[in-house]
Structure 1
Amino acid sequence: MNVIETAIAGLLILEPTAYGDDRGFFLESWNRRRFADFGLDLEFVQDNHSRSAAGVLRGLHFQDPNPQGKLVRVVNGRAWDVAVDIRAGSATFGKWVGVELSATNKRMFWVPDGFAHGFLALEDDTDFLYKCTSYFEPANEHSLQWNDPILGIDWPLDGLEPQLSGRDRVGMPFAAIATVA
Structure 2
Amino acid sequence: MNVLPSSIPDVLILEPRVFGDDRGFFFESYNEQIFADLGINARFVQDNHSRSRQNVLRGLHYQIQQPQGKLVRVIVGSILDVAVDIRQGSPTFGQWVSCVLSAENKRQFWVPAGFAHGFLVLSDLAEVLYKATDFYAPQHERAILWNDPDLAIDWTLTADPILSSKDQAAQRLSEAELFEKSH
Give 4+ residue runs of structure 1 displaced > 4 Å after superposition.
178-181
Structure 2 vs 1, CA of residues 178 and 45 (structure 1 numbering), >3 Å: closer, same or farther? closer
Q: How does 1:34-113 map to 2 (within 5 A)?
A: 34-113=34-113
With the length of structure 1 as denominator, give the TM-score of the two structures. 0.96
Question: Would you say how many aligned residue pairs link Structure 1 and Structure 2?
Answer: 180
Distance 1:82 1:103 in 2: 17
- Structure 1 match to 2:13: 13
Which amino acid in 1 is paired with 2:167?
A: D
- Structure 2 match to 1:168: 167
Which amino acid in 1 is paired with 2:39?
A: G
Task: Please say which of residues 114-123 and 170-179 is displaced more in the overlay.
Answer: 170-179
Q: Provide Cα deviations, 1:55-92, integer angstroms capped at 9, x if missing partner.
A: 00000000111100000000110000000000000111
Which amino acid in 2 is paired with 1:90?
A: S
Instruction: Provide the secondary structure at the position in 1 that maps to 2:35.
Output: helix
Distance 1:120 1:153 in 2: 12
With the length of structure 2 as denominator, give the TM-score of the two structures. 0.95
Which amino acid in 1 is paired with 2:17?
A: T
Distance 2:41 2:84 in 1: 22
Q: Is the 8 A contact 1:86 1:177 kept in 2?
A: no
Q: Provide Cα deviations, 1:109-135, integer angstroms capped at 9, x if missing partner.
A: 000010000000011220000100000
Instruction: Provide the secondary structure at the position in 2 that maps to 1:34.
Output: helix
Q: Is the 8 A contact 2:64 2:177 kept in 1?
A: no
Q: Cα RMSD (Å) of the superposition?
A: 1.4
Whether 2:129 is the aligned partner of 1:135: answer no
Whether 2:113 is the aligned partner of 1:120: answer no
Distance 1:9 1:87 in 2: 13
